[in-house]
Amino acid sequence: MADTKIIKISVRNLVEYVLRSGDIDNRRTQAFEKTAMQEGSRIHRKIQRRMGPDYRPEVSLKHTVDQDQFQILIEGRADGIIEKPEGVTIDEIKGVYKDLSYLEEPVPVHLAQAMCYGYFYCFDHTLAGAVIQMTYCNMETEEIRRFQVEKTFEELEAWFQGLIHEYVKWARYLYIHGLRRDESIQELSFPFPYRSGQKDLVVSVYRSIQRKRNLFIQAPTGVGKTLSTIFPAVRAMREGLGDKLFYLTAKTITRSVAEESFELLREQGLYLNTVTITAKEKLCFLDTPECNPDACPYAKGHFDRVGDGVYDIIHQETGITRDIVLAYAEKHQVCPFEFCLDISNWTDSIICDYNYVFDPNIRLKRYFSEGVSGEYLFLVDEAHNLVPRAREMYSAVLYKEDFLLVKKIIKPMDQKIARLLDRCNKELLEMKRECESYQILEDIRFFMTSILSLFGEMEKFMEIHQEFGDRDLVLDFYFALRDFINIYERVDENYRIYTELLSDGRFMLRLFCINPSRNLKECLNKGNGTIFFSATLLPVSYYKELLSGDQEEYAVYAHSPFDQEKRLLMVAGDVSSRYTRRNKREYQKVVDYFKVIVSEQKGNYMAFLPSYHYLKEVESVLYEISEESIGFTFLSQASSMNEAQREQFLKEFSKERDNSFVALCVMGGVFSEGIDLRADQLIGAIIVGTGLPMVCTEQHILKAYFDEKEQKGFDYAYQYPGMNKVMQAAGRVIRTVDDEGIIALLDERFLRPDYQALFPREWDEYYEVRRNNVGDVVKDFWHKREKKGENEYEENT
């Protein structure tokens, strides 16, 4: 039996998957399910401590079901087991915000979890039966309500056999699929000849997974990061080092690259299925998602049909993309988004946004809720984006004005909630009176007491009032309260709590997560290893600190495979983008550089500017010059562009022109990373400024936090994020081995040692230029490239 294949599933996932039925209906606030974060937290521990010496808390249980060719291993953790001479009680605790007087019986899936634990415990200890107890506790009042049912072992066994019978066909699919997948991986080889340094990168990824360690990879554009991380991770799955691969991205375009890489490996014989999880708004068949059976025919009876849909798609498809999900969802008349999430249970790899793993409100509870873990492997693409995204995920905010607005809506329906809203508003008003611009707060415990009282009443209100005017607005406020309460549970030394008077007149109270590493590790520790990779992961110590909190993590620097002679790097010593130097004279210098650089070689260029305001100032200088004098065509990025407008903007790089084209863009904006303009679509990037974030309250607080920890506050808050934006913008130019182009850094600060210490290794050679010689340097570069091309042509012919 040592070689018997084991199919693992958690108790929670088993009962939720098998027992659900009926409609999707988001009109109910789902008090029980939305508190999954609270499981195993403060209220659990408090109840467990009160239960006396006979109460054993957090008891891990598992049970194996033998099939012909494999075993099903069901694992979970009972909240408590009470052992007394008269018998055993299995206790399942659920912390909720709901008024317990509305609760007439246990929620079926909660009771089913407890019954599973009861069966496992009776089986292991040869008991005749057990008492199954559901303990519900109101998170605000700590009121407790218990339900008990006595079950014989025979009753528990018969019930469990029926439950597992429904799951066997799915387990058999996983068994057969796994055999076929592992056999295909055994024969799999890398699809291309290795580029310089690429094999070392592949080996580093495999070894870090093998050792269950995290790895940080700084890899320039063109190394082939996506394939170089996916391939060894897939090989590791064959060796039993992981059973599900998460490919995490920040942008849609990088998800497409991951899909293409998996497809490439399938063309080499790999049998491995993937699903791409897309945002609900992009999958919904309705113009605006309304997830209830009255508004959406796909929501009505969804859970009655979705199992057949999942079984169909996993037997027919391997690379399950958005379009494929939509086609099968239409066929089976189910909600595409919920359908997509269920498909992920049965695929080897999930391609998705960071949110679905890390965001406490969005992450997939089937993989990352309390007590659930797995043999997961995480590939985090463009990992530099995870720092600001994680700060956002683990922060929360409330606005004083929202309390007054919601009070106006609710007051005619519920006087008690109106009074609680008024109390919260008055407490915020006291904070506002003490705040001149912003203020760091040490303690908001009293305010949180008021918020908890309000939230408990709103929970009941939203359950009772399914329809009323402006319900969506009140529901948004309700969720903001819920998020604030949940994030407050996380507040520790990595947070700052502050109030701020905003420029639009609103007053804000914010829980600001500065160092998200502890929160991220909560998810990453559920897996076997994480690979963080990016073309701009410098300095790596900064990213280790904020993404893992461990400076001892592995790190590798992949060398660029590109011919450095094909790229010209220039640093201008006679121009500055400092705030104190922003005037028409400096804007004119920038325009002068544009004119000289683009005139030496006709082609497409991108100019990255520090802000929209700076862009408009440069644009105004250009408009003052006649079109003939400028010598090039230009187009500016707008401050808010939808997807169609962005696509239209990028189409400009494919047009034939008589002169050069310059796209004026904002550094750190949508066009400074994630776009792929190859060959002669883009031959130059002109980068104005060091990318420093705008001075604001958040940056002040960041700087002060790191200064307190003696970690170079200015560098952490400004310089490192700024240089990241610079390198991302520069990375637009050289995308393939055939690309040629120039990178011009227009700011005298790039000549300082502290900035040059942050240059990637491939930037070790650069030309220092000024306006009076930049033309000669650019002309000489293009002349050499032209001669080189002529020589290569002669050699080949």
**Which residues share a beta bridge with 555?**
216
The C-alpha atoms of residue 300 and residue 691 are separated, in whole angstroms, by: 50
pLDDT given at position 42: 61
The C-alpha atoms of residue 470 and residue 472 are separated, in whole angstroms, by: 5
472 within some domain: yes
Q: Are residues 15 and 143 in the same domain?
A: yes
pLDDT given at position 37: 42
SS3 495: strand
pLDDT band at 578 (very low <50, low <70, confident <90, very high): very high
Dihedral pair phi/psi, residue 9, rounded to 5°? -150, 145
- Region of poorest pLDDT, from 55-59, 199-203, 333-337: 55-59
The C-alpha atoms of residue 219 and residue 299 are separated, in whole angstroms, by: 44
Dihedral pair phi/psi, residue 257, rounded to 5°? -65, -40
CATH number of domain containing 488: 1.10.275.40
Q: Are residues 618 and 473 in the same domain?
A: no
Chain segment 80-97, per-residue pLDDT in tens:
999 988 899 999 988 776
- What value does the mean pLDDT take over residues 382-406? 97
- Region of poorest pLDDT, from 84-98, 230-244, 645-659, 743-757: 84-98
**Residue 143 CB coordination number (10 Å):** 12
123 within some domain: yes
309 within some domain: no
The C-alpha atoms of residue 198 and residue 210 are separated, in whole angstroms, by: 19
**Number of domains the chain contains:** 3
Contact 537, 727 (CB under 8 A): no
pLDDT given at position 621: 95
312 within some domain: no
- Locate all alpha helices (DSSP H) within 565-642, ordered by sequence: 584-599, 612-624, 627-630
- Region of poorest pLDDT, from 415-419, 624-628, 749-753: 624-628
Q: Are residues 486 and 569 in the same domain?
A: no
Contact 242, 232 (CB under 8 A): no
- What value does the mean pLDDT take over residues 168-187? 95
User: In a 10 Å sphere around its CB, with 0-12 CB exposed, 13-18 middle and 19+ buried, how is residue 602 labelled?
Assistant: middle
- Region of poorest pLDDT, from 429-443, 451-465, 498-512: 451-465
- What value does the mean pLDDT take over residues 614-622? 96
- What value does the mean pLDDT take over residues 613-636? 92
Q: Are residues 575 and 638 in the same domain?
A: yes
**Which residues share a beta bridge with 440?**
498
Give the whole-number percent of the chain exceeding pLDDT 70.
96
Q: Are residues 493 and 407 in the same domain?
A: yes
Domain end, chosen from 144, 170, 196, is at: 170
Q: Are residues 744 and 610 in the same domain?
A: yes
Contacts of 63 (CB under 8 A, 6+ apart): 73, 74, 116, 119, 120, 123, 124
pLDDT given at position 195: 84
pLDDT band at 443 (very low <50, low <70, confident <90, very high): very high
pLDDT given at position 784: 93
423 within some domain: yes
Return the higher-pLDDT residue of 26 and 113.
113
Q: Are residues 449 and 578 in the same domain?
A: no
Chain segment 355-380, per-residue pLDDT in tens:
999 999 888 888 887 667 788 999 99
- Domain membership of residue 460 as a residue range: 396-513
**Which residues share a beta bridge with 147?**
134
Domain end, chosen from 152, 170, 188, is at: 170
- What value does the mean pLDDT take over residues 479-508? 96
In Å, how far are 4, 474, 519, 560, 763 from 760, measured between CA atoms?
49, 49, 29, 10, 6
CATH number of domain containing 625: 3.40.50.300
In Å, how far are 326, 636, 656, 664, 670 from 645, measured between CA atoms?
25, 12, 20, 15, 12
pLDDT given at position 793: 59
Chain segment 587-608, per-residue pLDDT in tens:
999 999 999 999 999 999 999 9
Q: Are residues 633 and 754 in the same domain?
A: yes
Contacts of 749 (CB under 8 A, 6+ apart): 576, 578, 690, 755
Instruction: Tell me the pLDDT of the chain averaged across its residues.
Output: 92
The C-alpha atoms of residue 387 and residue 537 are separated, in whole angstroms, by: 11
- For the cut 70, the answer to whether the pLDDT of residue 321 exceeds it is yes
Q: Are residues 594 and 471 in the same domain?
A: no
Q: Among 256, 216, 237, which residue's Cα sits nearest to residue 351? A: 256
CATH number of domain containing 102: 3.90.320.10
Return the higher-pLDDT residue of 141 and 468.
468
Domain end, chosen from 123, 146, 170, is at: 170
- Go through 557-578 and write b for each residue having 16 or more CB atoms within 10 A of its CB, e for each that does not: bbbbbbeeebbbbbbbeebbbe
pLDDT given at position 618: 97
- What value does the mean pLDDT take over residues 425-450? 96
Contact 67, 171 (CB under 8 A): yes
Q: Are residues 506 and 586 in the same domain?
A: no
pLDDT band at 794 (very low <50, low <70, confident <90, very high): low
505 within some domain: yes
155 within some domain: yes
Q: Are residues 574 and 437 in the same domain?
A: no
- For the cut 80, the answer to whether the pLDDT of residue 795 exceeds it is no
Q: Among 687, 697, 682, which residue's Cα sits nearest to residue 650? A: 682
Chain segment 10-64, per-residue pLDDT in tens:
898 899 889 988 898 876 544 444 443 444 356 666 677 677 778 898 899 999 9
Contact 646, 622 (CB under 8 A): no
Alpha carbon 30 to chain centroid, angstroms: 24
Chain segment 231-287, per-residue pLDDT in tens:
999 999 999 999 999 999 997 778 999 999 999 999 999 999 999 999 999 999 998
539 within some domain: no
Q: Are residues 671 and 752 in the same domain?
A: yes
- For the cut 90, the answer to whether the pLDDT of residue 531 exceeds it is yes
